[in-house]
Structure 1
Amino acid sequence: MDDEPSILNALRRLLRLHGITTLQASSGKEALELLKTHEVDLVISDMRMPEMDGARLLEQIKEHDPSIIRMLLTGYADMQSTIAAINQGAIHRYLAKPWDDQELVLSVKDALARRELERENARLTQLTKEQNQQLKDANAQLESRVAARTAELSQINDMLEASYQELDDTLLAAFRVLSSLIDLRHRESGHSRRVAELSRAVAKHMGLSERDVRDVYLAALVHDIGKIGYPDAMLTKPVSAFTPDEVQRHQRHTLDGETALMSLQHLGSVSRIVRQHHERVDGKGFPDGLSGSSICIGARIVAAATDLDQLLHGSLGDQHHSAESASHLLKGGADTRYDRQVLDSLIKVWTEMESAAKEDVQIDVRDLRVGMVLARDLVSSTNAVLLATGYVFDEKIVRQVTGYAARQGVQMFLWIRSDSIDA
């Protein structure tokens, strides 16, 4: 911008030769009007102009758009005003008149290149800002979806866990019913249940895993399932009174028991315990003559627990043994019939269970309350187990049991664990 047409024309020709488009104004006012309607990257103004000098014009352009590059043409006589304009930040560069064409063109090209870099930098900055915001939004959406999916998976897992627990409870209930039927057939009230409770306690005492403890318990409940096919005559005899033929039949019952459980493929360890629970650590047991650690730990536990219960209740001979006598007989079989470590754990656990049983309390069924724990099996008149030791009474069963006693007009007593009465 200049008030002299010759200077304006010279500048226009010079810059056009280098592909630079120009707008011309002969006064500061005219220049400001052009800026209202055109996008401008650089302004070159002469210092000396009527009405408004170049420094003042460039200062107003700065206020209009500080990104516009501002250059000032000035003579030596205007140097003081030029310095003041530079100090006030109104211009980026000044060129002395008369100017050198090459220097002016290079200055303009450099300024326009810097302007383009600034514009590109601003564009990239804005693009980065937008992309960062998009990424932030995407992350937020992803986190929301992940949270929703996690919650969904958690809900599914909870449902699966509940279903698994329900199936496991159903399986356990089925095994308990089967155990009661086995004992009913053998006329041995509560034998399988007692062996199962004792075996589970021993397995826990020996540090077996939760899964192995469960398998030991299930196997103990049905360890005599192979005896269901016994002739009635065998059911009334202790093992010591069996004939040779009956002994042979007796020694097949573990195989029959394994066969009966064969369809339950996920309970392979249970059927293995049933098959091996008459093996001996000295190798003289049946059906396979296994010895030592080749007999699974569950079978070694069930074997000792079974014999202890049968000694106490007369199933192994013609008499019931006292606690002291039964313990003595078992210890005599250590390292031959029984695993010594299992035997030590069994006697310790059984002694503790007997001590705890002395604290059990017998109550009238009318005093039964929700949360009480059954200390001894509740059996029917035919010796069938109705409720097993350890059963925790809920509202439904309390109502059924008390209602049954009331309808039959009978006085019924239950053994309850003392620590559950005031719970």
Structure 2
Amino acid sequence: MENIDNIDDKINQDDKDSLIEDLYNELSQEFLTNIEILAKLIQLTEKYYDGSHSRFVAEKSVMIAEQLGIRDESITEIRIAGLLHDIGKIGFSDALLFKTSQEMNPNEYQIYTMHPEIANNILSANQHYREIRRIIYQHHERLDGSGFPQHLTEEKIHRGAKIIGVVDVYNNFIYKRKSIASRMNNPIQATSTSSILETTKSKFNSVMNYLYKKRGILFDTKVVDTLIEIETMERKQLGERTVLRLPVNRLTPGMVIADDYFNSLGILIAARGDTLTEDTIRALIRFAENDELPMKILVIA
């Protein structure tokens, strides 16, 4: 039979364990809240994209990582790094944001290549970001050493950075635009997904050919092959679905938003390509009730 002292010790230890768990959960929630805030700020740099570039990179990178057998904590790090990979571009001028790297003059390109370093500095104060910082810092590195900022090669590049680097190139090639006005609440007119696929077919084929040719030279072969497999299958499945304009209160989880929608301040609140969940549907209903979103939106069902 346990004596009183042992029982007290056990109770005290249970209290300590509970306190530690509560503190851990509180810190974890604070960390995730900070991620959300930073992700919202990054969206301010994405006005020249169809949809949210950072969300696309995060979600697609996770899909690739899972297919490559990466698990658990590393998946979370890749997801967060995908969301925050362009945080170093906050404050960049529109002249930089709408151009591709090939279109920049030497001075612009020099500034552009600083964004991984800027991101590293922004995130350096929080130890939670250590591995995430490393992925972000290296996402423009290339296997042959031609990338930046450190000209790393092969296995010196973090596997998460290799994944994000490929998805970043893919999304930039297909979904980056030259004009803000052309994407601001200007719904696509389509009755099926075939017209959506047709508008990106040429770019899709071009970027896939480029990535395939550069696999093993600039980009990790397994990452490129996995992206090609995922995107080819998704486009095939998309061709079998229908675009509908539905009231927000009739949306259901699993539907995909078919256009970009902005609030009165020009901030993206619903991005093309996002898959609806119960939480996002509730948020969209609130936006519509506050006249920040049309009562009917385009979705792929």
Superposition TM-score tier, normalisation by shorter sequence: 0.7 to 0.9
Match 1:401 to one of 284, 287, 297: 287
**2:221 is equivalent to residue 340 of structure 1:** yes
Report the CA distance between 1:304 and its aligned residue: 0.5
Give the fraction of aligned pairs with identical amino acids, expressed as a percent: 25
Match 2:33 to one of 161, 170, 189: 170
Report the CA distance between 1:230 and its aligned residue: 3.1
Structure 1 segments unaligned to the other structure (5+ residues): 1-135, 419-423
Does the C-alpha gap of structure 1 residues 349 and 398 become closer, same or farther in structure 2, counting only changes over 3 Å? same
One-letter amino acid of the counterpart of residue 175, structure 1:
L
1:215 matched residue in structure 2? 77
Report the CA distance between 1:297 and its aligned residue: 0.7
Q: Is the 8 A contact 2:261 2:293 kept in 1?
A: no
Quote the Cα distance in structure 1 between the aligned partners of 2:162 and 2:237. Answer: 25
Quote the Cα distance in structure 2 between the aligned partners of 1:293 and 1:331. Answer: 20
CA RMSD across the alignment = 3.4
2:261 matched residue in structure 1? 379
1:329 matched residue in structure 2? 210
Does the C-alpha gap of structure 1 residues 322 and 231 become closer, same or farther in structure 2, counting only changes over 3 Å? closer
Quote the Cα distance in structure 2 between the aligned partners of 1:146 and 1:355. Answer: 62
Quote the Cα distance in structure 1 between the aligned partners of 2:276 and 2:17. Answer: 31
TM-score by length of 2: 0.75
Q: Residue deviations 1:151-195, cap 9 Å, x none?
A: 6567546634642452243133223212312213x5664122211
Report the CA distance between 1:411 and its aligned residue: 3.8
TM-score by length of 1: 0.55
1:415 matched residue in structure 2? 299
**2:236 is equivalent to residue 236 of structure 1:** no
Report the CA distance between 1:243 and its aligned residue: 1.4
Q: Specify the SS of the correspondent of 2:278.
A: coil
Q: Is the 8 A contact 2:140 2:148 kept in 1?
A: yes
Does the C-alpha gap of structure 1 residues 328 and 373 become closer, same or farther in structure 2, counting only changes over 3 Å? same
Q: Residue deviations 1:86-124, cap 9 Å, x none?
A: xxxxxxxxxxxxxxxxxxxxxxxxxxxxxxxxxxxxxxx
Quote the Cα distance in structure 1 between the aligned partners of 2:23 and 2:232. Answer: 40
Quote the Cα distance in structure 2 between the aligned partners of 1:165 and 1:231. Answer: 34
**2:251 is equivalent to residue 351 of structure 1:** no
Report the CA distance between 1:314 and its aligned residue: 4.8
Q: Specify the SS of the correspondent of 2:269.
A: strand
**2:166 is equivalent to residue 304 of structure 1:** yes
1:392 matched residue in structure 2? 277
Q: Residue deviations 1:180-218, cap 9 Å, x none?
A: 12213x566412221121112111221223222122122
Q: Residue deviations 1:263-296, cap 9 Å, x none?
A: 2222022222222111110111111111101011
Q: Is the 8 A contact 1:274 1:299 kept in 2?
A: yes
Quote the Cα distance in structure 2 between the aligned partners of 1:238 and 1:223. Answer: 16
Q: Specify the SS of the correspondent of 1:344.
A: helix
Quote the Cα distance in structure 1 between the aligned partners of 2:166 and 2:209. Answer: 13
One-letter amino acid of the counterpart of residue 156, structure 2:
S
Q: Is the 8 A contact 1:312 1:323 kept in 2?
A: yes
Does the C-alpha gap of structure 1 residues 259 and 315 become closer, same or farther in structure 2, counting only changes over 3 Å? farther
Quote the Cα distance in structure 1 between the aligned partners of 2:255 and 2:19. Answer: 35
Q: Residue deviations 1:18-68, cap 9 Å, x none?
A: xxxxxxxxxxxxxxxxxxxxxxxxxxxxxxxxxxxxxxxxxxxxxxxxxxx
Structure 2 segments unaligned to the other structure (5+ residues): 179-198
Quote the Cα distance in structure 1 between the aligned partners of 2:26 and 2:134. Answer: 27
Q: Specify the SS of the correspondent of 1:415.
A: strand
Report the CA distance between 1:355 and its aligned residue: 4.3
1:180 matched residue in structure 2? 43
Q: Is the 8 A contact 1:182 1:222 kept in 2?
A: no
Quote the Cα distance in structure 1 between the aligned partners of 2:250 and 2:83. Answer: 30
Does the C-alpha gap of structure 1 residues 176 and 236 become closer, same or farther in structure 2, counting only changes over 3 Å? closer
Quote the Cα distance in structure 2 between the aligned partners of 1:227 and 1:167. Answer: 24
One-letter amino acid of the counterpart of residue 213, structure 2:
G
Q: Residue deviations 1:388-412, cap 9 Å, x none?
A: 634533485365134235xx79442
Q: Would you say how many aligned residue pairs link Structure 1 and Structure 2?
A: 273
Quote the Cα distance in structure 1 between the aligned partners of 2:66 and 2:10. Answer: 39
Q: Is the 8 A contact 2:51 2:260 kept in 1?
A: no
Does the C-alpha gap of structure 1 residues 188 and 364 become closer, same or farther in structure 2, counting only changes over 3 Å? closer
Q: Specify the SS of the correspondent of 2:290.
A: helix
